[in-house]
């Protein structure tokens, strides 16, 4: 009886704060939270509009914060410690010139592909080389709207499949999906790391 009395307020809090928690989760780990939210939306846990706004909002705010950090503090750190990563001032200048030419394409590609694990670095770098904030914000806003809806519907699709799977195989299906996503991301990262960009 005591344990039920203890758990009930927690359940009430989680239910009343679920969209705020989605916002926070999307801020820190957008893609996984978005896919999971789509799955839970299919199961009736979330309403679409507040869920979508919370997910998009958390992810967009994170993009802005990474830009500000890059704008304010990344350059001194790169200049000071870049030599340990073989980023000399000459290499930094070369990267900046390339980024200046292709910045819109790089930002769009990064946002729509989640940067394949390198997104935070690219967003920081955009701030560091002072990509115009209006352009940065607009690209991330539009691409964020698209990415959020795509990832939600991927999760929704998994929910669709999950419902028709016999109960005995549901856990196996969920574990398989998680393993597939993790291995897929690792494979893409390995491929990109081996490419000469």
Structure-block tokens of residue 156: 């929704």
Q: Are residues 78 and 171 in the same domain?
A: no
Q: Are residues 180 and 132 in the same domain?
A: no
The domain in which residue 128 lies consists of 2-164
| Number of domains composing the chain | 2
88 C-beta neighbours (distance < 10 Å), count: 12
Q: Are residues 78 and 158 in the same domain?
A: yes
**Model pTM?**
0.72
Contact assessment for residue 126 and residue 157, using Cβ atoms and an 8 Å cutoff = no
Contact assessment for residue 67 and residue 127, using Cβ atoms and an 8 Å cutoff = yes
Q: Are residues 157 and 177 in the same domain?
A: no
Q: How far apart, in whole angstroms, are the C-alpha atoms of residue 187 and residue 84?
A: 26
Q: Are residues 75 and 8 in the same domain?
A: yes
Q: For each of the chain's 197 residues, which pLDDT tens digit applies?
A: 444 555 556 666 667 788 999 999 888 888 888 988 898 898 888 999 999 999 999 999 999 998 998 888 777 776 666 666 566 677 677 777 777 778 888 888 888 876 555 677 778 888 888 889 999 999 999 999 999 999 999 888 877 776 666 777 667 766 776 677 667 666 655 655 554 44
Q: Are residues 23 and 46 in the same domain?
A: yes
CA neighbor of 58 nearest in space, from 33, 107, 104, 25: 25
What are the angstrom distances between the C-alpha of 1 and each of 5, 6, 10, 14, 15?
A: 6, 9, 15, 20, 21
Q: Are residues 33 and 97 in the same domain?
A: yes
Q: Are residues 108 and 175 in the same domain?
A: no
């Amino acid at each position: 009886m005591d344990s039920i009395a203890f758990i009930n307020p927690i359940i009430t809090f989680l239910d009343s704060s679920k969209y705020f928690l989605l916002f926070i989760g999307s801020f820190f780990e957008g893609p996984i939270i978005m896919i999971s939210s789509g799955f839970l939306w299919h199961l009736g846990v979330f309403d679409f509009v507040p869920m979508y706004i919370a997910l998009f909002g958390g992810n967009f705010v994170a993009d802005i914060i990474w830009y500000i950090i890059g704008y304010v503090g990344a350059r001194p750190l790169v200049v000071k410690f870049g030599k340990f990563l073989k980023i000399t001032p000459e290499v930094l200048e070369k990267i900046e010139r390339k980024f200046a030419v292709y910045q819109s394409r790089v930002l769009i590609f990064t946002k729509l592909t989640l940067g394949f694990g390198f997104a935070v670095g690219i967003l920081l770098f955009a701030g560091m080389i002072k990509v115009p904030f209006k352009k940065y914000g607009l690209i991330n806003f539009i691409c964020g709207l698209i990415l959020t809806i795509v990832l939600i519907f991927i999760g929704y699709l998994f929910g669709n499949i999950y419902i028709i799977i016999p109960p005995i195989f549901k856990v196996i299906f969920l574990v398989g999906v998680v393993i597939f996503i993790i291995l897929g991301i690792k494979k893409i990262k390995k491929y990109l790391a081996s490419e000469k960009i």
